[in-house]
Amino acid sequence: MHHPGPPRFVSTGETVQLAPRDPEPTGSYEWRIADAPPTSDSTVGSEPVTEFTPDVPGQYRIGLAAPDGDHLLTVLAFPAAYEGVDVAGGSGEAIRDRDVDRAGIDYGAGRLAGEGGPPRIRLDAEIEGTEAVVRAVATPNPDSSLAADDLAVRFVIDDRDVAAAVADGRTNPRDALTVTENPTGATIRLPTGSVPDRLRVHAVAVARDPGEDARVSVADAVSIDRVDAGGPDSFGDPTAGEAFETTRPNQPPAWTADATVYEVYVRTFADAEEGETLAAIEGRLPELAESGVDTLWLTPVLENDGKPHGYNITDFFAIADDLGDRDDYERLVETAHDNGMRVLFDLVLNHTARDHEWFRDAYRNPDSPYRDRYEWQDSGEPGTYFDWELIANLNHANLTVRRYLLDVVDEWAPLVDGFRCDMAWAVPDSFWREIRDRAKAADPDFLLLDETIPYVPRFHEGMFDVHFDATLYFQLRQIGRGAAPAESVIDAVEKRAAVGFPDHAGFLQYVENHDETRYRVECGDAAAAAAAAATFTLPGVPMVYAGQEIGQRGRRDPIAWDHAREEVRERYARLSAAHDAHSALGPAGDLERVDYRVAGGGSGERPIAADGDEVHPDDVVAFRREHGSEALVVVLNFAPGEALVAVDADHGRLNVVTGDPCVVSDAEGEERIRVDDVAIVSTEP
């Protein structure tokens, strides 16, 4: 089906890319404005992949005449509250279209658009008798002065499902629904008889501060699917026997709630001869599984230009010869599954290597049939980012490119459990939405993990499940260097909601990866231990970069397995076990601040942690995690010396990480938690 996908919620002046799905490169596609606000002068382009920019607020309907028929797409445009400000409040376009000098991206970026920031929304659906009911809970931004009942909710039923219902002879769901507002959001109801095989409902929350333009949330969605069509009973009830299933498409897969990701830089992970690397990695999987790893991210395994990182790909359908062959890769994945581990494929869709056959033919050849498959600069060089001279950016407005890359997705998705999406910010939003729907249709538990730095809240709107949290990464580095207090880790986590991420968004928490200096090299062993503990105890998905768990100091050097620091390995094993055993430490657990005091800390200038054993109050942070009937207090200490910390909460005496007592009394009889790097104690929920 060539329909361009779900409805879009945008600001006036924001450009939306429109593209037919599952395209036929030689097919005919024509766009039109089918409906628009009376004062709008917006137009749409004539190319199969085109752009649309709403000029006034209101509802637009964009038409697409395609080989499989005519389609309509709803676009809701709101006043441009985010015009000209940081991308934290908008889409990824501002990242992709930044200045031609291709300046690097600030890890700590993600500023708010003015005061207050966007609200959040969550949708849930259920069947009540003969009605389908969708409830929206709208939540003000944490920094907003607005209350929940100050927010408005805008619902849109998916155009694809409206067309399906009408084609089935059902009442148009938009005509059948009723909307009721309530203090926390709004509810829609519609008869189950108007529900086609699938009904997707999308919605946003809208905040309007006095004198300000509207601030719009990341959209959420629910899906109501028929599992039994039913039919008239003996009394003539046409809805008798109907059965439905409701799902939340933007909810991360349930298995990510207790996942631990382990990144393998494939060419230095195992000592192996040419062509035997994948087999050597496979041989280490049982050991990894025993350590608590349950999700394996392998850096690219496809044919490339010979650079060891593998991101400059020359053949998107072939395993790199120096690693092994297709059978080796499939055996590795099968062995991982046999050991209870999932596998993430590193998906590269922004570019090819310059050694790719397309580019070799197209370079400096304007008549090449491959020429328009790439972006080009006025200089005649290909489009690229930063100083990456060995790659060339693909032209995602070319239907042949999109068709090719969708075939790449279809080739590898059935073998693995998810994609780690390289340079996700550099690929158009419309394409990620299509890839997500394509992968999830085959496997609803398939994971989409985006590498987008800084993170973009709108990327949780029908694109990705879990997001790289470079903001937390950056803050942990600042703490380890002595440039920020330990308590700022909580600020970093709270920033997720402040910039507009919904509460159900997932985050990958890490302190190092193949692109970064090892944390312990920059910040010292003590800070590295506490930073690792932060990734396992704050709300998110912890990630370990191979070698991190044994004290490795080289970023991409061969892993020194024979020289592993056993005390470091044991520390990681304990952290992983504690994370898995306590749901309060998982992504769903609430995070709360607690009052705490550090004994013996000086009040003067804070020493760099690696310079001595003195513990400064800024080296320590305590917080509370709670989920269901479980509540825990976590204390992290980034200093080399032992910290004694009094927490204003009744708590247990055992450190659940080690199983040992960790509470002592000071000279005044006050109980203090003794902390080397991390202590976790139980408390009352």
Distance (Å, rounded) from C-alpha 475 to C-alpha 453? 14
Does the active-site annotation cover 605?
A: no
Distance (Å, rounded) from C-alpha 85 to C-alpha 87? 7
What is the residue-wise DSSP string for 638-660? -SSS-EEEEESS-B-SB-TTT-S
What phi, psi does 403 have (nearest 5°)? -60, -45
Please report where in the chains the tokens 């005649």 appear, as a residue: 380
Crossing angle for the helix pair 399-412 and 429-442, nearest 10 degrees? Answer: 30
What phi, psi does 8 have (nearest 5°)? -115, 140
Does the active-site annotation cover 422?
A: yes
Name the token pair of 271: 């000592």
Q: Which DSSP symbol is given to 406?
A: H
CA 603 to chain centre: 40
What phi, psi does 684 have (nearest 5°)? -80, 135
CA dihedral of residues 571, 574, 575, 576 (deg, nearest 10)? 120
Catalytic residue among 451, 469, 512, 549: 451
Distance (Å, rounded) from C-alpha 385 to C-alpha 350? 10
Distance (Å, rounded) from C-alpha 94 to C-alpha 421? 19
168 within 8 A of 148, measured Cβ to Cβ:
no
Coil/strand/helix, residue 182: strand
Query: How many CB atoms sit inside 10 A of residue 550's CB?
Result: 17
The residues near 444 (Cβ < 8 Å, ≥ 6 apart) are 247, 253
270 within 8 A of 283, measured Cβ to Cβ:
yes
Catalytic residue among 93, 422, 512, 549: 422
Closest CA to 422 of 293, 543, 297, 558: 297
Secondary structure of 260-293 in HEC code, one letter for each residue? CEEEECHHHHCCCCCCCHHHHHHHHHHHHHHCCC
Secondary structure of 457-479 in HEC code, one letter for each residue? HHHHCCCCCEEECHHHHHHHHHH
Distinct helix (H) and strand (E) counts, the chain: 14, 35
Catalytic positions, written as ranges: 422, 451
